[in-house]
Amino acid sequence: MHRFNVELGDRGYPIVIGRQLLGDPQQLQPYIHGDQVLIVTNETVAPLYLDTLRKGLRGVGQVDLVELADGEAFKNLDTLNRIFDTLLQRRHNRSTTLVALGGGVVGDMTGFAAACYQRGVNFVQVPTTLLAQVDSSVGGKTGVNHPLGKNMIGAFYQPQLVLADMDTLQTLPERELSAGLAEVIKYGLICDAPFFAWIEAHMEELLRRDTQILAHAVQLCCRAKATVVAEDEREQGRRAILNFGHTFGHAIESVQGYGQWLHGEAVAAGMVMAAELSRLQGYIDAELVARIRTLLQRAGLPQEAPEDMAREDFFTAMAVDKKVVDGRLRLVLLRRLGEAMVVDDTPRERIAEALALCGAG
């Protein structure tokens, strides 16, 4: 079992990574302060892990449940309101704790609901997908989508605990495992060259879901993210490097409609675009771009834009992205393998060229 803290002063919290954590009251209960819990999960995860989680919560007086439809398409204000409805119908008070059992969508929405309910209650992240374990459950970014932009409505709001149980990865659909690997690869690219090489060396075991290997990957990603978040919780500066590939990726998700491409798939294609752009700007060479493409391919991830998406679609979608500051598009590029940087003066023509190299006509 790995255990370490996200250092954010009085908003700091532990991340626990291991096996058989979900049903263990010793893990969860110290972080439940009141006598009420609302579990938020979805229709896919509930049949698999809800009973186990309830065991981990025995002793809590009132445990209620909201079961959401599964998928990014439901990450919106209407679904959020279902969480508020249940909290109020079941009379949850300010000392309640929300427990997010599921992937990134469940975690983002539950965290945002916790941030807003009675102006802020406790919450715990129990991520059950690789993507949520390595990325979205850590760092306190919460929110929902708007038809005009991804994650446009949200809050920075930290959980009390992140409990990443490796056992839950055994039931993950292959496509979602791959989507999670996109974020794993991202951490190698932006801040840890040896880790990137380690992923190259261990891709087969990762795909075979070797628990030890997965736990090592999750741990390195969480530690990397915890360090970045501790330096820059509200993304005033350095934290933006975590968005490597995401500006292009969000454009894909937004134009395709949420839920068509998985977030990790869109990020994978977006990372190739950002890598090509880094090469065009003279920072990295073609060999590294090829290594990135190969690794993504081995992970079962796309390296190209969706077939029906033109360059103009990207520019239109990116114009409303959160990374636009006073009219300038802020992008994350690679300076070299293991080092990312934020730039806001990339010529539009270069971006168009990079998009074209990824099949956006």
Interface residues toward its own copies, by CB under 8 A: 34-35, 77, 81, 84-85, 88-89, 91, 93-95, 115-120, 141, 143, 146, 148-149, 151-156, 234-235, 319-320, 322, 324-327
Count the neighbouring beta carbons within 10 Å of the beta carbon of residue 27: 22
Catalytic site residue 287? Answer: no
241 closest CA partner among 338, 145, 149: 338
Q: Are 218 and 133 in contact (CB under 8 A)?
A: yes
Catalytic site residue 225? Answer: yes
Kindly state the smallest distance separating residue 36's Cβ from its own copies, in Å: 8
Catalytic site residue 323? Answer: no
Q: Determine which one of 92, 186, 216, 246 is catalytic.
A: 246
Q: What SS3 class is residue 351?
A: helix
Q: Tokens 């959020």, residue?
A: 80
Catalytic site residue 186? Answer: no
Nearer CB in complex with its own copies: 206/329: 329
Nearer CB in complex with its own copies: 141/225: 141
Kindly state the smallest distance separating residue 164's Cβ from its own copies, in Å: 23
Catalytic site residue 67? Answer: no
CA distance 138 to 158: 8
Q: Determine which one of 92, 250, 311, 330 is catalytic.
A: 250
Catalytic site residue 243? Answer: yes
Nearer CB in complex with its own copies: 26/89: 89
Nearer CB in complex with its own copies: 117/196: 117
Q: Determine which one of 223, 239, 311, 330 is catalytic.
A: 239
Q: Determine which one of 92, 141, 186, 311 is catalytic.
A: 141
Kindly state the smallest distance separating residue 297's Cβ from its own copies, in Å: 34
Nearer CB in complex with its own copies: 114/271: 114
CA distance 22 to 25: 8
Kindly state the smallest distance separating residue 192's Cβ from its own copies, in Å: 26
Eight-class DSSP state of 257: -
CA distance 225 to 138: 7
Kindly state the smallest distance separating residue 86's Cβ from its own copies, in Å: 10
| Main-chain dihedrals φ then ψ at residue 91, nearest 5 degrees | 55, 45
Go through 93-102 and write b for each residue having 16 or more CB atoms within 10 A of its CB, e for each that does not: eeebbbbbbb
Kindly state the smallest distance separating residue 141's Cβ from its own copies, in Å: 7
Q: Determine which one of 67, 72, 233, 235 is catalytic.
A: 235
Nearer CB in complex with its own copies: 212/316: 316
What number of CA atoms fall less than 13 Å from residue 152's CA on the CB side?
A: 17
CA distance 54 to 269: 38
Q: Tokens for 162, please give them.
A: 């992140």
Catalytic site residue 141? Answer: yes
Catalytic site residue 263? Answer: yes
Count the neighbouring beta carbons within 10 Å of the beta carbon of residue 154: 18
CA distance 251 to 270: 9
Catalytic residues: 119, 141, 183, 225, 235, 239, 243, 246, 250, 263
